[in-house]
Amino acid sequence: MFRSILIANRGEIAVRVIRACRELGIESIAVYSDADDRALHVALADRAVRIGPAPAAQSYLSGEAILQAARETGAEAIHPGYGFLAESHAFAASCAGAGLAFIGPPSGVIARMGSKTAARALAEQAGVPVVPGATPSDQRDETIAAAACRLGFPVVVKPSEGGGGIGMKTVPEEASLLPAIAQARREAAAAFGDGTLYVERLIDRPRHVEIQVVGDHHGRIVHLFERECSLQRRHQKIVEEAPSPAVTPALRARMGGAAVALARAAGYRNCGTVEFLLDGSGDEARFYFLEMNTRLQVEHPVTEQTTGVDLVRTQIVVAAGGPLPWTQDELRQRGHAIEVRVYAEDPERHDLPQAGPLLLYREPSMPGVRVDGGVAEGGDVSVHYDPLVAKLIAWGDTRDLARRRALAALRSYPILGVRTNGPFLIALLEHPRFIAGQLDTGLVEAERPVLLAGLAGAPPPEAVAVARHASVDAAAHDPNGPAVIDPWTLLRGWRG
Amino acid sequence: MFRSILIANRGEIAVRVIRACRELGIESIAVYSDADDRALHVALADRAVRIGPAPAAQSYLSGEAILQAARETGAEAIHPGYGFLAESHAFAASCAGAGLAFIGPPSGVIARMGSKTAARALAEQAGVPVVPGATPSDQRDETIAAAACRLGFPVVVKPSEGGGGIGMKTVPEEASLLPAIAQARREAAAAFGDGTLYVERLIDRPRHVEIQVVGDHHGRIVHLFERECSLQRRHQKIVEEAPSPAVTPALRARMGGAAVALARAAGYRNCGTVEFLLDGSGDEARFYFLEMNTRLQVEHPVTEQTTGVDLVRTQIVVAAGGPLPWTQDELRQRGHAIEVRVYAEDPERHDLPQAGPLLLYREPSMPGVRVDGGVAEGGDVSVHYDPLVAKLIAWGDTRDLARRRALAALRSYPILGVRTNGPFLIALLEHPRFIAGQLDTGLVEAERPVLLAGLAGAPPPEAVAVARHASVDAAAHDPNGPAVIDPWTLLRGWRG
Amino acid sequence: MADVIPIGRGQYRVIDGTRQRTAYAAGPPEARWVFLDGRVYVIDVRSGTDVARTGPAGTREGGRTPDEDLALSAPMPATVAAINVAPGQLVEPGDLLIVLEAMKMELPVRAPRAGRVKAVACRPGELVQPGIPLVELE
Amino acid sequence: MADVIPIGRGQYRVIDGTRQRTAYAAGPPEARWVFLDGRVYVIDVRSGTDVARTGPAGTREGGRTPDEDLALSAPMPATVAAINVAPGQLVEPGDLLIVLEAMKMELPVRAPRAGRVKAVACRPGELVQPGIPLVELE
C-alpha cells in the first residue's frame, strides 16, 4: 500500500479522498492555489503544498506544478479526483514517467476512451449498442445531410470533438437540415477550432443511466449496477439516484454485462463509468452507449450508499496492485440513494454561478444522510472554480424514504452569504414527476417555470421578523457572539 | 398513520425521533424542562411544550405533565425514547387510558418483562437458556448459602430487584459466602428497600451479546441479528458493534431463534432487545438469557447501519398498526458498524460526569460516519440529566474499516468547554484486544491503566502554541469573530 | 405575530404558540440573509423587502458594477464558446448574445434589455475575466 | 516551532513545513481549551501548563468550591444507593465512601485523602443535590 498520496484536486472531492487516505493510514498531501490557502481540503490534509496562483491553468491544471509538489513531498501516488487533470492521458503518462502511481486507468485507455470516435468504435466491436450515427469522412454539407437522412429524423448534428452542448443542433425534419449543418459547423469551428461534424439519431426524451465498473490488475472487472442521472440543467447533472426507477433486474444485467464487456475490451483498470442513453423503461427498454468516463464520477456516493462499497478506497487498493475483494455475485444493491448537487448558482437568473462568503454554513447531520462538502463556515465560494458547494446524499430502504430524507436534510441546511440552488432542489424533489420516477433528460428544462414558481414570493413575515431580530438583538442575546458580521471583509476574490 | 407524535424525552434520542417523524411527514412535539428551553431537541421539533422545572421527577419523569402536554397539543401518539418513562408500564397504561398510542409494547408486557423473576420464568418456559440461579423462597442466610453451593462456585449474590451493580457480590469460594450474603442484604435493603437476594452462577469474563427483535400487530416477529456490547465501564455500555466478532452464522441463528421464541411467548409487539451473556465464541458458545429491554436501545444505530432497517421508523409504523415490511429471510447484515458513546465525563477522575458549556462543538461529517447528537455549539451539558453528548457510529465493509473510520471521526470531533471520554474512546479503539475482537465485559476495567496511560502527558508545544495564538490573534484574524468567549456567561445550571 | 428567540450563533427559534421553526440569519442590516423552511431571503431590514428580488441586481453583489455591465460580463473566468451577435444587430431582452464555457459549464450571456449591439469585446476561444462587459449595447 | 494560522471560527492550522494539522481552541486565557489530534488540553496561556492536570481540581469547575467539598459531593442530582462508612471510621485515599445512582449510572464517592469520618450527611435512598458534601472528613 502507498505511504502517501497527493490529491491533485480541490473542493469536496479532495476532502473525500483525504478522508479515504486517513482511514487507510495513508499520508494525504493537498495542493492548493493562492485562492485556496484557507480552503477546507487544505485544512484537512496531513500536508499541503502551494502550486500556483488562482487561475486553474497555472495551478490545478498544471501537471508540472503538481509533479513538482509530488517530488518535494515524496508522494508515492496521485489521485486526480474528477475534472482538472483526471482525464488527461498526458498527465497520467507523466505520472508514470515520474515513477508515481496514477490512481486511475492506464494512460492509453484514457486516450482511447477520451476520443468519442475511438470509444464508439470500441463499443461496436465489443457488441455494445450505440446510437445510430456517423462522422462522414466527406464533410461537405450534402454528404452530411445524406447521412442524416439515412438515420431517419429527428437527428442531432454536433461537433465531432468538444462537449457541453456547444454547437449541437436538433433537426426535426429534412427541411431545416442544411441551415443547421452550416450553423453547427460555424459554432464548432469557433468553439473548438475544428468544424468536423457528427450526425446521430435523436433519442427523444431519453433517460441518462450509467453503469459503474471497476477493474483490478489481475484481470477481474465487475460492475456496481446503475445510476440514473437524467435530471440535468444545461447538460449538467443535478440529481442522481440508484437504482434507476426505470431499470428492471433483467435490464440491469444486460446493461451491466455490456459495460463490463466494453471495459474488458478497453483493457480497463480502476474505476470508470459507462454512460448510456436509455429509451423506454423495463425489460424491453433499449440502451445506447454514450461515452465512458475514465475517472471517479461526482455522483459515485449513490453507488457507495446502495452497494456498501467504498469506491475511493477501492480505487486506491486497486492502484496499489491489490485484488478486488468481491466477485460480481457478491455485490448487491440495497435500498435507494438520491444525491443532490448543491451549487452556488441562482436558478432565478439562468443558473448564473454565484461566488461569495459563507457567512453561515451548517451541514445537516441525520441518520441516512451523508454530506460530501468542500467548504466551511467562514470560508467562501471562489469565482475561480466550479461552484459545487457540496453533495447531499440520502439513503432509505425505499425511494420515497430517500427522497423524504433528502428533503428534510435540505430544509436543515442553511447556507447564507451566497445564493445556492437549494430551494430549487427542494422544488424538484417535490415535483410530481420526480415523485413518480418519470424522469428524462428534458424534465428540468420543461418544468423550470413550475419549479421556479415555487420560489417566487415576498419573504414571509416570520423571515422579516428574524432578520429584524438578528439586527437588534443578536449581539446582546447570543452567548456565542454576534452572527452579524461584515461580509465585505471576506470578499477575497469577489468579482466587481 | 399518526398525524402527530409527542416525544417524551430529551437529548439525542428526542432528536432522533423528531427526524424520523419529519421523514414520515408527522408533526413532532417536543417537551422540555426549564433546563432545556434552549436545547437542540426543542429547537428541532415542530412544536414544543414546557412540562416543568429542571428535576426529571417534575418534568421528564412526570407522566401527568406529559399527558397534559399531549392533550394540549392534540398529539396522537407518544414515543418514550429510552430511559425516563420508556419502561414504565404504568405510563404505558395511562397513555392507553388517555386514548394515545404508546410507541412500545403493551403495558402488560412491559410489566412482566420488567420483573427479573417473571422474565426469567418466561424464558425458561420458552426454552431459552438462563444462567443457573435461584431466589430461595426461604431467605435465611443458610438456605441462600445452600442454594449457592448447589450452583457451584464462583457465584454471584445480588438483590432480587434493583440494578446498576449495587449490592452485587462475587463469591469465589464457599468460605466467603456468608459474609457476602449479609453485606449484599444490607446494601440491597439500603438501596432498594428490599433485602431479597438472588444467587446465580458466575459466568467468567462473558461477552454481552443482545438480539434486536421487532413484532407487529399481525403476529409477525422477526429478529435483526445481534449487537455486541461487551465494552462497559461501571456496568454501562460505551462501545457497541454489529455483528459480534464472536458470533458465527449457526450461533446467530440459535440466538435469534431463542430471542424470537421469548418475544412470542411474551406477546411482544414493537422493538425490544433480548440480552444474553455469551460464554465462549463460535458455534460451540453457550448463551444465557439476561434480561429483556422493552424499548429502543441506545445502541440501535449499529443494527440500523448493518441491516438497512430504520428502527425508529419501524416502531412508528408498527405502533400505527402497520405490518412489518420484511420477512426474516429478507433481512441481511451487511458490513460492520461500531458505535461509541461520547459522554461528558472524566475518565481520569473515575468517569465523574461533567457538566458545562459547549464553547466549541463540531460534529464530524464523513462517508460511513453517522453522529446521533443531542447538543449544539453554544448549548451546554446540564447537570440535571444523563451526560451522553452524542453517539458516533461508523460503518465499513469490514470491522477494521469501521474501526478506522470511528477513529478518524473521533480525531475530527472537537468538543471544548466540557471534558468528555473522547480521548479514552480513541485509546480503547486502538487497544490490541479491541483490534483483535477479544472482548469481554471486564476488558475496560482490566485495561483501564493502559488506556489512561495514553491520555497522560503535558500538552505538546503545538497545543500550547495554538492556545497562545488563539489568545493573541483570534479576535483580529478570525473573520467570523472571536472564538474566545466568556464561558461563565453560559453557566446556567452549573454547579458550584 | 410570531416570537423570535435566539438559540445559538446565527440560529433563531420562530415561535407561534407551541408551534415553532428554526431559522438562521447572517449579514449586515441592509442585506440580511435569512434561512427559513429551506428558503433563503436577503432582506433589507429597514424596508423589510427582499433585496435579491426588488433591488437592482447590482446591489446584491456589492453595488460596485452597474446592473447592465454585470449582466453583460462573465460571472467567472471563462472561455468564449460562441458569439451569436454582431455590431449593429438589434436584440430583444433575453436574446442569447454569447455562450461562455467554464469548468465544463455553459454560461449564457443574454441581453438584459432591447437595444442595438454597439461592440463585441471578445473573440471566440478567448479567456475572459469576470466583471468586464463582453458586449456593449446602445 | 510550528506556525499557527487561524482558518475559521475557533479553528487553526498548525503548520510545520508542508506538514500540518487542524486544531481548535476556545475559552478564556486562564483556561483555554485546545483540541489537537483527538486530545483535549486545558491550558493556562500565561504558564503554558495543563490546567486540568496541574491545577487544583476545583479551579477547573470555576474555583468556587474547595477541592475536597467537590470530591465529597454528588456531581449531579443523584440518589444515595449505599453508604460504606460510619462516623469515626478511618479511611485511606481512594476508599469508597458512598455509592450514588443517577440516570442508571453508579457514581462512587471516594476519599480524596486519608482521615477520619466526622459525619455522614445523607441517608440511603435520599435524593441529594450537587455541591453539598455528603461526608465530612476530619
Per-residue pLDDT of D27-56, as tens digits, reads 999 899 999 999 999 999 888 777 765 433
Name which residue leads in pLDDT, B356 or A491: B356
In this predicted structure, what is the pLDDT of residue B349? 80
List helix spans (H) across D17-114: 51-54, 57-60, 67-71
Q: Which residues of B touch D12 (CB under 8 A)?
A: 466, 469-470
Name the A residues in 39-58 with CB < 8 Å from any D CB. Answer: 42-49
Give the confidence band of A478 by pLDDT, cuts at 50, 70, 90.
very low
Nearby residues of B460 by Cβ (< 8 Å), 6 or more positions away: D36
Nearby residues of B252 by Cβ (< 8 Å), 6 or more positions away: B225, B226, B243
Task: Pick the closest to residue D24 from D38, D42, D36 (CA basis).
Answer: D36
In this predicted structure, what is the pLDDT of residue C133? 86
> What is the amino acid identity at position C136?
E
Please, what CATH class does the domain formed by A207-456 belong to? alpha beta
Give the confidence band of A474 by pLDDT, cuts at 50, 70, 90.
very low
Distance separating alpha carbons of residues A9 and A62, to the nearest angstrom? 11
Q: Which residues of C touch B48 (CB under 8 A)?
A: 18, 20
Chain B nearest C-alpha distance from D97 (Å)? 13
Active-site residue, from A112, A295, A370, A405: A295
In this predicted structure, what is the pLDDT of residue A471? 67
Name the A residues in 363-422 with CB < 8 Å from any D CB. Answer: 376-379
Distance separating alpha carbons of residues A156 and A131, to the nearest angstrom? 11
Give the confidence band of A163 by pLDDT, cuts at 50, 70, 90.
low
- Interface mutation target, options A44, A365, A377, chain B, most CBs of B under 10 Å: A365
Distance separating alpha carbons of residues A98 and A245, to the nearest angstrom? 45
Maximum separation of any 2 CA atoms in chain B, in Å: 76
Which residues face C100 on adjacent strands? C80, C107
Maximum separation of any 2 CA atoms in chain D, in Å: 64
Positive or negative: CA dihedral B468, B469, B473, B475: negative
Q: What is the mean pLDDT of residues A342-357?
A: 88
Cell of B212: 434486536
Give the confidence band of A494 by pLDDT, cuts at 50, 70, 90.
very low
Task: Pick the closest to residue A271 from A469, A80, A27 (CA basis).
Answer: A80
Q: What is the mean pLDDT of residues A354-382?
A: 92
Give the confidence band of D103 by pLDDT, cuts at 50, 70, 90.
low
Q: Which helix (H) or strand (E) holds C106?
A: strand C105-110
- If you average pLDDT over every residue of chain D, what do you get? 81
Q: Is D75 helix (H, G, I), strand (E, B) or coil?
A: coil
Distance separating alpha carbons of residues B228 and B244, to the nearest angstrom? 5
| pLDDT per residue rounded down to tens, chain B (496 residues) | 999 999 999 999 999 999 999 999 999 999 999 999 989 999 999 999 999 999 899 999 999 999 999 999 999 999 999 999 999 999 999 999 999 999 999 999 999 999 888 999 999 999 999 988 888 999 999 999 999 999 989 999 988 876 667 788 899 999 999 999 998 898 888 777 888 999 989 988 899 999 999 999 999 999 999 999 999 987 889 999 999 999 999 999 999 999 999 999 999 999 999 999 999 888 999 999 999 999 999 999 999 999 999 999 999 999 999 999 999 999 999 999 999 999 999 998 878 888 889 999 999 988 999 999 999 998 889 888 989 999 999 999 999 999 999 999 999 999 999 999 999 999 999 999 999 999 999 999 999 999 999 888 889 999 999 999 876 544 433 334 333 332 222 222 222 2
Q: What is the mean pLDDT of residues C84-107?
A: 83
Contact between residue B91 and residue B80 where contact means Cβ atoms under 8 Å apart: yes
Candidate from A117-131, A310-324, B51-65, C39-53 with smallest mean pLDDT: C39-53
Distance separating alpha carbons of residues B47 and B26, to the nearest angstrom? 11
**D22: nearest CA partner in chain A:** A43
Distance separating alpha carbons of residues A450 and B236, to the nearest angstrom? 54
Kindly report the backbone phi and psi dihedral angles of residue A185, in degrees, each rounded to the nearest multiple of 5, phi listed first: -65, -45
**C10: nearest CA partner in chain B:** B378
Name which residue leads in pLDDT, A177 or B235: A177
D9, D19, D20: residue with CB nearest A378: D9
Name which residue leads in pLDDT, B418 or A492: B418
- If you average pLDDT over every residue of chain A, what do you get? 91
pTM: predicted TM-score of the whole model, two decimal places: 0.83
Q: Is B283's Cβ below 8 Å from some Cβ in C?
A: no
Name which residue leads in pLDDT, D1 or A453: A453
Distance separating alpha carbons of residues D32 and C94, to the nearest angstrom? 57
- Is B46 within 8 Å of C13 when comparing Cβ atoms? no
Range B4-103: architecture per CATH: 3-Layer(aba) Sandwich (3.40)
Domain boundaries, chain A: 4-103, 132-201, 207-456, 461-494
Distance of CA B88 to the CA centre of its chain: 16
Q: Which helix (H) or strand (E) holds B279?
A: strand B270-279
Maximum separation of any 2 CA atoms in chain C, in Å: 64
In this predicted structure, what is the pLDDT of residue D53? 55
- Is A313 within 8 Å of B481 when comparing Cβ atoms? no
> Which subunits sit against D, judged by 3+ Cβ pairs under 8 A?
A, B
Q: Which residues of B touch C19 (CB under 8 A)?
A: 46-47
Q: Which of A182-191, A414-423, C117-126 has maximum average pLDDT?
A: A414-423
- Interface mutation target, options A19, A44, A342, A393, chain B, most CBs of B under 10 Å: A19
> Residue B132, preceding bond cis, omega within 30 degrees?
no
Name the A residues in 204-243 with CB < 8 Å from any C CB. Answer: 234-236
Q: Which domains does chain D have, with CATH numbers?
A: 3-54 (no CATH), 71-137 (2.40.50.100)
Distance separating alpha carbons of residues A169 and B426, to the nearest angstrom? 59
Pick the CATH number of A132-201 from 3.30.1330.10, 1.10.3720.10, 3.30.70.260, 3.30.1490.20: 3.30.1490.20
Q: Is B55 helix (H, G, I), strand (E, B) or coil?
A: coil
In this predicted structure, what is the pLDDT of residue A472? 57
Distance separating alpha carbons of residues B379 and B389, to the nearest angstrom? 11
Chain B nearest C-alpha distance from D55 (Å)? 12
In this predicted structure, what is the pLDDT of residue A383? 82
Q: Do domains A4-103 and A207-456 have the same CATH topology?
A: no
Candidate from A195-209, A428-442, B101-115 with smallest mean pLDDT: A195-209
